[in-house]
Structure formats: C-alpha cells, structure tokens
Amino acid sequence: MSTFDDVRTIALALPRTEEREGGWHMGPSWRIIGGTMFAWSRPVWGRDLEWMRAQGDEPGDAVLGVRVDGEEGKREVLAANPRAAFTIPHFDGYPAVLLRLPETPVDLLRELVVESWLLRVPKRIARDWLEENGMMER
C-alpha cells in the first residue's frame, strides 16, 4: 500500500530533512541535515535472506528501515504489525525495524517515519514541530 514516493513525501515534509542516494546496494535514505539517517531503503540479501527463507518468509522488493525507540519499541512495532514489520539477525540489538512497503498502510508509514525522525532530530526542533502540529503534551 505504501511506496518509496510515499516515504519521500512524508520525510521531506519534516524540518531539516534531506534525501540522499545510499551506498551498500541501498537506494534512497532520509537524514537530518548534518545528522544521521532515520529512514532508509534496505534490501535483504546474503545470510539474512537465507535465514528469512529458512523461516518460510520473504522480505519483498520494497523494504524500508526505520529507527525505533529501543528494544521495547521494536518488539511493540513487530507485534502490532506482523505483516508489514519484520527484523533480521543483522538488526539484533539495533533499534530499528524493517517494513515491507506494499504491506504497510500509509498512515502506519507516516507514524513510523515521524517517530523515527523525532528520535534523531535535535530536541528543540522536535518540540517546535510537535507544538506547531498540536501534538505537544501539556
């Protein structure tokens, strides 16, 4: 249901965000300007692909990685979205999940991309954005 064009639209609407073409056989990534990635194209290959296939699973062609808030956040996203979200051994201990974009509703994609951005952007920018969008806790 989602595409990389949807990711692009969501991510580039967030302040201080840029898109870059990736390395390591990756496609586009979205980063905080002068900072780190919060969403990235992430094909699954090698041992991780073999591992998935041994589990009777396939990653699909359009896979997006997003940061999450620690291991508990990772478990919550995986449990709540079993068709869309998955992980691989390479991500063990790393606060991120992978999303099968064709299985990810756009509203879920938006939620996860924004949450990932909020984890990486400077706190002042996050606070201002949340306030401007009526999402600031009082």
- The predicted-structure confidence for 83-122, as pLDDT tens digits, reads as follows 999 999 999 999 999 999 999 999 999 999 999 999 999 9
- The predicted-structure confidence for 6-20, as pLDDT tens digits, reads as follows 999 999 999 999 999
Query: Tell me, what's the pLDDT at 115?
Result: 98
Mean pLDDT calculated for residue range 26-45: 92
Mean pLDDT of the chain: 93
Distance (Å, whole) CA 138 – CA 135: 9
Torsion-angle region of 49 (φ positive above 0: left; ψ -120 to 50: alpha; else: beta): alpha
CATH fold, domain 4-125, is Aspartate Aminotransferase, domain 1 (3.90.1150)
Give CA torsion, residues 110, 37, 3, 78, to 10 deg.
-60
Which residue ranges make up each domain of the chain?
4-125
Q: How far is CA 125 from the centre of its chain?
A: 19
* Residue 27 pLDDT grade (very low, low, confident, very high; cuts 50, 70, 90): confident
